[in-house]
Chain A
Amino acid sequence: MSSQSRIVITGVGLTAPNGNSLQEFRANLLAGKARIAEIDVRHMGKQPAGVCDFDATKWQKRKEIRNGTRVGSISIYCAREALIDSGIAWEQIDKSRVGVYLGITEHGNVETENEIHNISQFGNDTKYWTHHHNPRTVANNPAGEVTMNLGITGPHYTIGAACAAGNAGLIQAAQMLQLGEVDLAFAGGVSESIHTFGIFAGFKNQGALGSHPDPTKASRPFDKNRNGIVISEGGAIYTLERLEDALRRGAKILGEIAGWCINSDATDAVLPNPQRQAECVRFALQRSGLKPQDITIVSTHATATALGDIQECVALREVFQNCPNTYINNTKSYIGHCMGAAGALELAGNLPSFADGWVHPTINIEEIDPECALPGLVVNKPHQANEVNAILNNSFGMLGINSALIVKKYGVA
Chain B
Amino acid sequence: MTKEDIKQIVLDIIADIAPDEDLSAVKAEVRLRDQLSLDSMDFLDIVMELRKKHGIEVPEADYVQLASLDSCADYLLPKFLAKK
- On A, residues with C-beta under 8 Å from B are 61-63, 66-67, 122, 127-128, 130-132
Contact status B19-A131, CB under 8 Å: no
Contact status A131-B41, CB under 8 Å: yes
Give the contact-size bracket for chain B: 10 to 19
Q: What are 7 of the A-B contact pairs (CB < 8 Å)?
A: A62-B19, A62-B20, A63-B18, A67-B41, A128-B51, A130-B48, A132-B41
Contact status A61-B20, CB under 8 Å: yes
Q: What residues on A are CB-neighbors of B9 within 8 Å?
A: none
Q: What residues on B are CB-neighbors of A128 within 8 Å?
A: 48, 51-52
Cα of A134 to Cα of B29 in the assembled complex, Å = 34
Contact status B41-A66, CB under 8 Å: no
Contact status B48-A63, CB under 8 Å: no
- On B, residues with C-beta under 8 Å from A are 17-20, 41, 44-45, 48, 51-52
Closest Cβ–Cβ distance, residue B31 to chain A (whole Å): 19
Contact status B48-A131, CB under 8 Å: yes
Q: What residues on A are CB-neighbors of B18 within 8 Å?
A: 63
Q: What residues on A are CB-neighbors of B45 within 8 Å?
A: 131
7 smallest beta-carbon distances between A and B, as pairs: A62-B19, A61-B20, A131-B44, A62-B20, A63-B18, A63-B20, A63-B19
Q: What residues on A are CB-neighbors of B19 within 8 Å?
A: 62-63, 66
Q: What residues on B are CB-neighbors of A131 within 8 Å?
A: 41, 44-45, 48
Contact status A127-B41, CB under 8 Å: no
Instruction: Name the residue of chain A whose CB is nearest to the CB of B37.
Output: A63
Q: What residues on A are CB-neighbors of B51 within 8 Å?
A: 127-128
Contact status A122-B48, CB under 8 Å: no
Cα of A61 to Cα of B39 in the assembled complex, Å = 15
Instruction: Name the residue of chain B whose CB is nearest to the CB of A60.
Output: B20
Q: What residues on B are CB-neighbors of A63 within 8 Å?
A: 17-20
